[in-house]
Amino acid sequence: MPMTDPLWYKDAVFYEVHVKAFFDGNDDGIGDFPGLTQKLDYLQWLGVNCIWLLPFFPSPLRDDGYDVADYLGVFADYGTLEDVRRFLDEAHRRGMRVIADLVLNHTSDQHPWFLESRSSPQSPKREYYVWSDTDKKYEKARIIFIDTEKSNWTWDPVAQAYYWHRFFSHQPDLNYDHPDLRRAMLDVLSFWLDQGLDGFRCDAVPYLFEREGTICENLPETHAYLKEVRKRIDEAYRGRILLAEANQWPADVRPYFGDGDEFHMAFHFPLMPRLFMGLRSEDWHPIVDMFIHTPPIPETCQWCLFLRNHDELTLEMCSGEERDYMYYAYARDPQMRRNIGIARRLAPLLDNDRRRIELLNSLVFTLPGSPIIYYGDEIGMGDNVHLGDRNGVRTPMQWSADRNGGFSKADAAALYLPVIADSLFGYQTANVEAQQQTPHSLLHWMRRLIAVRKRHRAFGRGTIEFLRPRNEKVLAYLRRHGEDVLLLVHNLAGSAQAVELEIRQFKGAVPIELFGESRFPAVGEAPYMLSLAPYGYYWFQLQRTTAGEPTYGIEDSLI
């Protein structure tokens, strides 16, 4: 992929990683930038195009860095600004880009702005946060972390007032009604882009402004500010991107793309649980229905599709019935539940069934959008539901069967979190080294998946057309980009299935299976018959035989 294409993100494969979790360069038990830099060759080998880094800024780490105490610094255990710059240079040298989290909505209560703000009503920073004499304002706003917080207001004994927070009570919301604050955050953006970052995953964007009588989400004022953020990118940093974290229905996410003048990308949150539902219920309806409810987006924009991330598998965009179903299907043990969701990794969610892991990955790699891989899921890493908060899915990357999974040479007790060591998912079995040595490992399969996807722009840029076969267990769709026509067929069932596809419009075309390059029988007048193994899938390119091409053989002349 040329590094000069401004629309690079439309074809990119993303990889989400936490600096502290990847590789420990100085053996103190915590991953760091020098360690991450050492592992860039691995990410290049895997074929990813863009790395998304979780917050790496100074922080009391009460929300794993999403509680920022200094936007312009680097958390000391992770390295120095110089280490970050070196990392960015090395990533760029290998043709990879890097985006990082930008936490716009709130800071840590240890941020100097907040300390100053609470110190006195006369403080020039007072209005950087949202203060009130009563906790009865903005009552229509829901509480997001309902498992830990009782209210969006917390009394501050120092300020003798309540402050507003949409997340943890130690994360006061910034006040975007204040022009100095709005400018300060734009300066944060420029600072990191000047260091060489290729963009941002913008955290919790729906909540920037508050207005009485509303749910305080997706307000017009919020969109207006985000457009200013985008303007800064377009004016001075062409080719860099903004990716929105807006856990909302597609119709509410759509405005975050604006007319191509707000976000370049946004996660498709509601699709994610429906991929798991479709698989479990062996039915394509939940998945196809979600796309019916997904409005078209501007040409220069892109969805970001994912299966798992560093948070719980969120069920916020699900009905009560759907939630019950998801808990029943994927989290029978209440220990696995967090907030409104399930704190597990991909492989354990799917009972470590290689066929189902491949199937769901195949979906996020072929549905419209750019796929993102959560670190460790490419080797089928496990989780530890006994660790608090969402830490169970944030354990050290497993590199080898060596001590601490090859992540660090520190004492096991010094690791920021214990490495997974159970008999099924532990580092002794699930690790990069072992899987690199095994040609048929999940890791090698993921690498191939990425490589095959990259050969066709239709995956990132093509249109989609669902075929809706009568067999509801088989999800089939066409992706088209110019002359390139791809046919994707997925068996969501744990039993072998036959399917008839209405594709006579491609009569004469020969389906070429993209992984093995084998030719299938040509499409004819009758419905196209395929049989699929349990959880089987096909990626075909429909190769048209050009009219007038000479035909050979006796059978051809009989047609």
Q: How far is CA 180 from CA 170, 198, 211, 293, in A?
A: 23, 25, 19, 39
Helices (H), 216-353: 220-236, 250-253, 271-281, 285-292, 320-330, 346-349
Helix, strand or coil, per DSSP, at residue 409: coil
Helix, strand or coil, per DSSP, at residue 417: coil
- 191: CB partners within 8 A, 6+ apart: 71, 72
Pick one of 11, 21, 22, 24: the residue that binds Ca ion (CB under 5 A): 24
Pick one of 1, 26, 127, 514: the residue that binds Ca ion (CB under 5 A): 26
- Residue by residue, DSSP assigns 71-124 as TTS--GGG--HHHHHHHHHHHHHTT-EEEEEEE-SB--TTSHHHHHHHH-TT-T
| C-beta closer to ligand GLC: residue 66 or 276 | 66
From the list Ca ion, ligand GLC, none, partner contacted by residue 378 (C-beta under 5 to 8 A by kind) = none
From the list Ca ion, ligand GLC, none, partner contacted by residue 32 (C-beta under 5 to 8 A by kind) = Ca ion
From the list ligand GLC, Ca ion, none, partner contacted by residue 203 (C-beta under 5 to 8 A by kind) = ligand GLC
Q: What whole-number distance in Å separates Cα of residue 333 and Cα of residue 348?
A: 13
Q: Which of residues 401-440 bind ligand GLC (CB under 6 A)?
A: none
From the list ligand GLC, Ca ion, none, partner contacted by residue 28 (C-beta under 5 to 8 A by kind) = Ca ion
Catalytic center residues = 203, 245
Which residue number has the CB closest to ligand GLC?
Answer: 66
Q: What whole-number distance in Å separates Cα of residue 314 and Cα of residue 168?
A: 17
From the list ligand GLC, Ca ion, none, partner contacted by residue 230 (C-beta under 5 to 8 A by kind) = none
From the list ligand GLC, Ca ion, none, partner contacted by residue 453 (C-beta under 5 to 8 A by kind) = none
Please check whether residue 270 is in contact with residue 249, taking contact to mean a CB–CB distance below 8 angstroms.
yes
Interface characters, 47-76, with ligand GLC (x: CB under 6 A): ----------------x--x----------
Contact between 38 and Ca ion (CB under 5 A)? no
Q: What whole-number distance in Å separates Cα of residue 557 and Cα of residue 559?
A: 6
Pick one of 8, 10, 14, 32: the residue that binds Ca ion (CB under 5 A): 32
Give the distance, in angstroms, between the CA of residue 35 and the centroid of all CA atoms in the same chain: 23
| C-beta closer to ligand GLC: residue 310 or 337 | 310
Contact between 44 and Ca ion (CB under 5 A)? no
Q: What is the enclosing helix (H) or strand (E) of 554? A: helix 554-558
Interface characters, 149-168, with ligand GLC (x: CB under 6 A): ------------------x-
Contact between 383 and Ca ion (CB under 5 A)? no
- At closest approach, how far in Å is the CB of 19 from Ca ion? 9
- At closest approach, how far in Å is the CB of 85 from Ca ion? 18
Q: The tokens 């240890």 sit on which residue? A: 110
Helix, strand or coil, per DSSP, at residue 240: coil
b/e string for 351-363 if b means 16 or more Cβ within 10 A?
Answer: ebeeebbbbbbbb
- At closest approach, how far in Å is the CB of 183 from ligand GLC? 22
| C-beta closer to Ca ion: residue 32 or 358 | 32
Q: What is the dihedral of CA 430, 378, 310, 330, to 10 degrees?
A: -80
The footprint of ligand GLC on this chain (CB under 6 A) covers a number of residues equal to 9
Q: What whole-number distance in Å separates Cα of residue 524 and Cα of residue 544?
A: 12
| C-beta closer to ligand GLC: residue 202 or 476 | 202
Interface characters, 197-216, with ligand GLC (x: CB under 6 A): ------xx------------
Contact between 306 and ligand GLC (CB under 6 A)? no
From the list ligand GLC, Ca ion, none, partner contacted by residue 63 (C-beta under 5 to 8 A by kind) = ligand GLC
Instruction: Report the interface residues with ligand GLC, using CB under 6 A.
Output: 63, 66, 103, 167, 203-204, 245, 310-311
